[in-house]
Amino acid sequence: MDALHERTAVELRDLLAAGELTPAEVTDHFLERVERLNPSVGAFATVTPGLARERAAALQRDGDGSRGDTPPASGSLWGLPTGDKDLWNRAGVPTGFGSRAFADLPPAQESDEIVRILDAAGIVSLGKTAAPELGFPAYTEPVHTPPARTPWDLTRGAGGSSGGAAAAVAAGMLPFAPGSDGGGSIRIPAAACGVVGLKPSRGLLPAGSGVDSLGGLVVNGPIARTVADTALLLEAMLPRRAGGGVAHPYSLRAPSYEAGSYLAAAQRAALPAPGTGGRGPGGSRARIGVTTSSAWDGFYDISVSPEARAALDVGVRALSGLGHDVEETVLAQAPEYAPAFRTLWMGGASAVPIDDPETLGRLEPLTQWLIRSGREVPARQLAEAVRTLTAFERSLVAQVSVYDAVVTPALALTPRPIGWYDAEDPERNFEQQCQYTPFTSMLNVAGLPAITVPTHWTEPTADAPAGLPMGVQIIGRPGGELTLLALAAQLEAELPRPHAFPL
């Protein structure tokens, strides 16, 4: 049998369910990977080996395939290891929020909803994956802990804010990991680490639906090494009622499908279909738009690097070769977007529950700037920003909906070197983040689903002997996750990565 970390999450699930592996065996293997690799990668802020082994033993005791039992009915991820983002509470485990200001907080008494949902699915948490301070930056380099690094080049960052989750998956410390995405925080690190990251439609997931965040920006979603594993984790983040439907506690929601639909879409799409003239959902051709235009164009100096352009070209050629109808498009210019988004982002930061001047002073310059600036925004200006972005949302949804999907570069630049972002000038820092990842935040504003998938590796260097991962972002219509998973799986099958693991 291959080393367990070389198995996909789907394969591990099946081996666990058949009793050929136990939760304890899988947990021990991945904990050994974490112990060995985390000092160099910085993927975990906190590792909880004792709690992980207790959890694995409890799952084994309550039901395992080797004794003829079956995993719990809700346990689609029974015995599989993952990690909690260090912005989420797990009862009994400290939450650091990526900040020295919260480093000494006592452990939470209750787990957050996303943690409870994944526990009900049967996961084993190995600890807290690293995040930047309060999840605001697009990179994971907290001042008080080691940075999260892309395993493909340890001199470069893993992106953010789910940087630890993506780095852990890329290094084989986890088979998959949940993240959250308010402006690209799943897709950015997934792209920087050469794995798959999916931001679902606003309202699809009960936990982290986006409905309860200012402007509807923040949603939870999966990060994994393969498209099928991404779909598997997405399925588990959709708790089911007894009758099989999704338990949506909110009135706003995207279309959902029967249990297993997302995984089936990812797995079917990767199978050859000779003579069909394409492998879109159901074997049909997809109409795909391609663009390098961004909502930040004209506000900041946005340019697409040769490496990002090469990754886009490789992905587009592959989709065209599969029989899909591909055409260039340009998203309508929206000069009002950038100032409105900045106002909304700062407005969200203003609500961080820190009023003590001493605690506020311990925050990093970028975070302090966002919070202080947000608290100076008049209510009318914030309301106008929300109205402006609502109009932008309607416009972008209409533009994207002309196509089955729209493809952009995942990132405009290669993964950024550690320390590249300006640590003293927050205005410059914010601009750098937009220049690195100009294609992501507009989809949080519009509530559209999007998936990033690696398509290309740069030329090898001494620091990156396998090259750096670059990829594309595929944007879907509202509720279009099935199409995104199908197209991403086709690219994955057509463009295999050079190495399974860089470390």
Based on the residue annotation, tell me whether 261 is a catalytic residue of this protein.
Answer: no
pLDDT at residue 421 in the model: 98
Distance in angstroms (rounded) separating the CA atoms of residues 153 and 462:
9
pLDDT at residue 273 in the model: 43
Task: Please give the DSSP secondary-structure letter assigned to residue 282.
Answer: G
pLDDT at residue 72 in the model: 52
Distance in angstroms (rounded) separating the CA atoms of residues 187 and 159:
9
List alpha helices for 180-324, DSSP H.
Answer: 187-193, 227-236, 261-269, 306-321
Q: For residue 14, what are its two tokens? A: 């099946």
In the chain, which stretches have pLDDT less than 70? 1, 64-75, 240-256, 269-283
The string of pLDDT tens digits covering residues 77-99 is 999 999 999 999 999 999 999 99
pLDDT at residue 207 in the model: 83
Q: Looking at 76, 125, 161, 201, which residue is catalytic?
A: 161
Q: Give backbone dihedrals phi and psi of 149, rounded to 5 degrees, phi first.
A: -115, 145
Cα 405 to Cα 200, 201, 208: the distances in Å are 14, 14, 24
pTM for the complete prediction? 0.95
Based on the residue annotation, tell me whether 303 is a catalytic residue of this protein.
Answer: no
Distance in angstroms (rounded) separating the CA atoms of residues 411 and 52:
35
- State yes or no: cis peptide before 180, omega within 30 of 0: no
Distance in angstroms (rounded) separating the CA atoms of residues 100 and 460:
36
pLDDT at residue 247 in the model: 64
Distance in angstroms (rounded) separating the CA atoms of residues 303 and 294:
10
Cα 194 to Cα 120, 158, 456: the distances in Å are 29, 10, 9
pLDDT at residue 192 in the model: 98
The string of pLDDT tens digits covering residues 391-449 is 999 999 999 999 999 999 999 999 999 999 999 999 999 999 999 999 999 999 999 99
Q: Looking at 85, 209, 256, 294, which residue is catalytic?
A: 85
Q: How far apart are the first and last CA of the chain?
A: 20
Return the amino acid letter for 157.
G
pLDDT at residue 64 in the model: 47
Distance in angstroms (rounded) separating the CA atoms of residues 243 and 188:
36
pLDDT at residue 63 in the model: 72
Q: Looking at 76, 125, 185, 256, which residue is catalytic?
A: 185
pLDDT at residue 257 in the model: 75
Task: Please give the DSSP secondary-structure letter assigned to residue 325.
Answer: E
Based on the residue annotation, tell me whether 199 is a catalytic residue of this protein.
Answer: no
Q: For residue 361, what are its two tokens? A: 């002073």
Contact 484, 462 (CB under 8 A): no
Distance in angstroms (rounded) separating the CA atoms of residues 132 and 153:
19
